[in-house]
Structure 1
């Protein structure tokens, strides 16, 4: 305790004892010399020397005790302050954790899924391989930003061709899936792996009673003779998907600039893609957007209804009769 209370720069315990002893002896010796010089009896000289030396010893002891007691009190105050800070921080963290858990309980999402996500994320530590740790960190941040944008009803952008959003939204649509299919985006889509999975998700949605509609936009009238397009059209009709064709030249002028590749899910979310070029042979998906802005989604829904009304089913030219056979 003494070592803890002594301030830096003061003497050590050993030097303090030596100093006290020297001070006591010196005080007694000086007292003996003075009383002896005053021709006092020998017994009185010795008694006064012991008495005054003892008084000096007690004074020295009381001064050291006072210093050490002040040091102990200061340590106690510092300890109490640290303890209060630790307890306050702990209660603050507990309060924040309690509030967060309350939000999880009140969320529309399943509580066990959220807690499972948190529990599994704790299995990744900074001691994990750097590539895993950094990849998980990036995905968690991406998911946090994604949820934030969805919650705020904004727009989420994915640079490139997405597949998870497309398949997930189609599988989880509850009312309807309305799509405008542009040749610049959907060229050869139906023969690709993602196109087959997307089509299968639509088939299941239509089978379960959800409304699935598609408008094939023909950039040129000659595209109506495309056998691949005709096969895709008939195949989707057999899947109970409502399909119509739309000649872009028949679109009213005010709507010409609005025609674009998009999918409406339940009329509350718009899935839009932007091609790198309008040439179907060279086009790729430049970016994909999820739009939840209410005004924007309403515009997309209105656009689809207007285009659906002017679209038509596949027109098959009647064969010209051969009069020679008649």
Structure 2
């Protein structure tokens, strides 16, 4: 407004992104840029002019026609040379780009070949592993159709649009895999009393079931799982499985009418049940009576460990031959000791 010079300040701004920083584009300095054809024409005209002056100065006797012709030839040659140089430069660029393109294609083909080879090898390895696995299943005594059904059902669960079901299925598969892995090492356990194992093993036995039952189990026999357990034992008896059970108490005073009735009810199911007071047995026969155990087919021991409050804290399955033999020796020692007791360990009823 007052004629004073106005100073304009240009601020450069840097834009930041999560991956890189973008700098503002600076305008290239403007200059005179001539088309390549115009440059060639100017160079040719300059060469023509120089050639004309030189030929006119060197040989003035030939006349203007000769000098003009020579200058035109020299200028034309200069133009051709420029095009040849430009052609060579362009050809070199094309060759360089083609060579680079060929190298890129070769590198891509090599990378693709390596990736494809690794993929094929991995797939064949998985196929081979799966084939070997199912071949081992077919050779084992396990039901291969059950393994196939498990794999197919696991795949179908994984395709459901339900995250809760898929997560639960994954947890169950992991639990089952851990159980089978532990069983392959002949020992596994779980917290608390696993009655599903107890009933499932009873359905599997073919020869014998030898069990002890302490006072901790007294409430169990009136429960719904106990009813299913006794039903499974009754079915086993029909398969000619020998079932023996010892109810253990500390002193004879603990043998009440409820225990007598429980013992007689099991004898009615053709279970050889006996009650024994440990105080009536010799000390050597009382060893190993602190916890309940059941030996299935003299091959696997089902054991329940109690905590300090006489609560079932852990269930263990042990199929190690030495341990099973140890449990069978304990049971046999207790069982043989009842032979010398009145009624072979069956307490008389209150009516007797």
Instruction: Output aligned runs, 1:183-262, within 5 Å.
Output: 183-184=215-216, 186-224=217-255, 226-259=256-289, 260-262=291-293
Q: How many residues align?
A: 293
Cα deviation for residue 309 of structure 1 reads 0.7
User: How large is the Cα RMSD of the aligned pairs?
Assistant: 2.6
Q: 1:310 aligns with which of 329, 334, 337?
A: 337
Q: 1:151 aligns with which of 174, 184, 192?
A: 184
Alpha-carbon displacement from aligned partner over 1:38-61 (angstroms, at most 9, x marks no partner): 334214412431243233223322
Structure 2 CA distance for partners of 1:49 and 1:216, relative to 1, 3 Å: same
Alpha-carbon displacement from aligned partner over 1:168-218 (angstroms, at most 9, x marks no partner): 10001122111011111x112221100010011111101111111111112
2:118 matched residue in structure 1: 88
* Partner-residue secondary structure (3-state), 1:316: coil
Aligned 8 A contact 2:247 2:276 in 1: yes
Structure with bigger RCO (C-alpha 8 Å, 6+ apart): 1
2:193 matched residue in structure 1: 161
Q: Distance in 1 between matches of 2:151 and 2:249?
A: 48
Aligned 8 A contact 2:209 2:294 in 1: yes
Alpha-carbon displacement from aligned partner over 1:214-233 (angstroms, at most 9, x marks no partner): 11112221122x22211221
Cα deviation for residue 277 of structure 1 reads 4.9
* Partner-residue secondary structure (3-state), 1:41: helix
Q: Distance in 2 between matches of 1:130 and 1:35?
A: 85
Q: Distance in 2 between matches of 1:309 and 1:163?
A: 28
1:4 matched residue in structure 2: none
Q: Distance in 2 between matches of 1:110 and 1:35?
A: 100
Q: Distance in 2 between matches of 1:316 and 1:233?
A: 11
Q: 2:149 aligns with which of 116, 134, 142?
A: 116
In our comparison, the structure showing a higher alpha carbon Rg is: 2
Q: 1:37 aligns with which of 39, 50, 69?
A: 50
1:273 matched residue in structure 2: 304
Q: 2:209 aligns with which of 177, 182, 194?
A: 177
* Partner-residue secondary structure (3-state), 2:156: coil
Q: Distance in 2 between matches of 1:192 and 1:306?
A: 30
Cα deviation for residue 304 of structure 1 reads 0.9
Q: Distance in 1 between matches of 2:108 and 2:326?
A: 66
Alpha-carbon displacement from aligned partner over 1:135-190 (angstroms, at most 9, x marks no partner): 2221111111100000112x211111212101110001122111011111x11222
Aligned 8 A contact 2:275 2:345 in 1: yes
Length-normalised TM-score, structure 1: 0.81
* Partner-residue secondary structure (3-state), 2:157: coil
Alpha-carbon displacement from aligned partner over 1:275-317 (angstroms, at most 9, x marks no partner): 3456xxxx53211111122222221111111111112331438
Q: Which moved more, 1:230-239 or 1:86-95?
A: 86-95
Q: Which moved more, 1:90-99 or 1:123-132?
A: 123-132
Q: 2:316 matched to 1:289?
A: yes
**Which blocks of at least 5 consecutive residues in structure 2 are unaligned?**
1-33, 53-69, 339-343
Structure 2 CA distance for partners of 1:204 and 1:54, relative to 1, 3 Å: same
